[in-house]
Amino acid sequence: MVFTSHMELALEEARLAAACGEVPVGAVVVSPAGEVLAKAGNRTRELNDPSAHAEMLAVREACARLETERLTGCDLYVTLEPCAMCAGVIAAARIARVYYGASDPKSGGTAHGARVFSHPQAHHMPEIYDGIDAKACEALLTEFFTARRRLSGHSDA
């Protein structure tokens, strides 16, 4: 159980995303043996792809690497609560455990809103561990959006 160092890798991906002007979220997929199979940050702007969330990219990369649609027994570390879309791909990929950092009451789809794993239509429900390195994960997001608001000025002024 080395989730702090894996979440640190996810945080590093989130920081790299922020440096590129992307919303700072990062994700890492770890094999049952503890090997990092894939890591990614958000790239929706760079790729012009609304699906290019960190966890989506990490799951795709891990699947491509293992040449399989299923990541049975693998863990996912992500700095923000997955949205409905990402919860869907996590279920489809049969990820065993999800460790996430910051809660996302606005756009989350795991503990909030659609609660994708909490319906019979979710054929797979991973174990969920929330609040991992939550303060660091939240701080990155807060800093990013504060800076963006500052740059864009007060549009309501």
102 binds its own copies (CB under 8 A): no
Instruction: Give CA separation, 123 vs 62, 110, 116, 117, 126, in Å.
Output: 21, 15, 10, 8, 10
CB of 29 to its own copies, least distance (A): 12
CB of 124 to its own copies, least distance (A): 11
Phi and psi (nearest 5°) for 88?
-65, -45
Please say which residue, 7 or 83, places its beta carbon nearer to its own copies: 83
Helices (H), ranges, the chain:
3-19, 44-47, 54-66, 84-92, 134-152
155 binds its own copies (CB under 8 A): no
Q: How far apart are CA 99 and CA 96, in angstroms?
A: 10
Q: How far apart are CA 96 and CA 17, in angstroms?
A: 26
26 binds its own copies (CB under 8 A): no
113 binds its own copies (CB under 8 A): yes
The answer to whether 55 is a known catalytic residue is: yes
106 binds its own copies (CB under 8 A): yes
Where along the sequence are the contacts to its own copies (CB under 8 A)? 44-45, 47-51, 56, 59-60, 63-64, 66-70, 83-89, 91-93, 106-109, 112-116, 119-123
